[in-house]
Structure formats: C-alpha cells, structure tokens
Amino acid sequence: MSTPRQLHSEAMAHASKAVLAQSAGRSEEAADLFSRALGLEVQALRPLPLPHRVEPTHSVLCRSAATLALDCGNARLAEKLACEGLAGDPPPPIDDELRQVLAQAQALRQAPAASDVSAAA
C-alpha cells in the first residue's frame, strides 16, 4: 500500500507532465494526466479519519487536490476539497491559498457555460 507521501509525489509527477502536455497543445493527454493526478491526491487524503489528520499535511493535500480538481474542470469537487482543508487548522499561508481556490471554484460554478452564453445571444 502506498503512503500519502508516495501518492502525493506520484500525483505531482502526473501534474507536471500534464502542464507540459497542455503547453504543447496536447489537451486530451493533459486532461488525462490531470485526472490521474487528482485521483492519486484524493487517495492520499483518505488514509486517516478527520480527527486524526495531521496539519499542515492535511491542508496542503486538500489545497493540492482542490487545485487539481479545478484543472480537471470539476469546480464542485474543488469547493468540497478546499472546504475540507479549511475545516482543519491550516497555517495562515495555506489558509489563504485554500480560500483563493475556493473563490476560483465558486466563480467557475457561477459563470454561465460557454454554450449557455452562445445560446442566449
């Protein structure tokens, strides 16, 4: 069984490859890699029940997973993960970053879809 640290490292490796694929215009490959990274990061969060999670590790993993959820276009999951991180006791810099991710996720959820905008025009 992989440890949270191993899962996080593997997730970050996939995320790095996804950024490279995205910058090279390989959007399908990037989407797949971001999705894999998100799955691994969520797995890294789940080994211990909430009261036994250690800070700042837990909030850092939540921030990372929430950011990856945004990269995957899953604003609702990003909101949930950011809130989970904020529910702990994150240190101030991580708290600020979680709040930024939460704001981005909320803005994404409130923005009309591109198809909705073109249909209304």
The residue behind tokens 């939460």 is: 102
pLDDT in tens, 16-30: 999 999 999 999 999
How far is the C-alpha of 91 from the C-alpha of 57, rounded, in Å? Answer: 10
Q: What is the pLDDT of residue 12?
A: 97
Q: Global pTM?
A: 0.86
| C-alpha to C-alpha distance for 81 and 61, rounded to whole angstroms | 9
pLDDT tens for 93-109 read: 999 999 999 999 999 99
Tell the CATH topology of 4-111.
1.25.40
HSE-up of 118 (CA within 13 Å, CB side)? 3
For 32-88, the pLDDT digits (tens) are 999 999 999 999 998 766 666 788 999 999 999 999 999 999 999 999 999 999 998
Distance from C-alpha of 70 to C-alpha of 68, rounded to nearest angstrom: 5
How far apart, in Å, do the first and last CA atoms of the chain sit?
A: 53
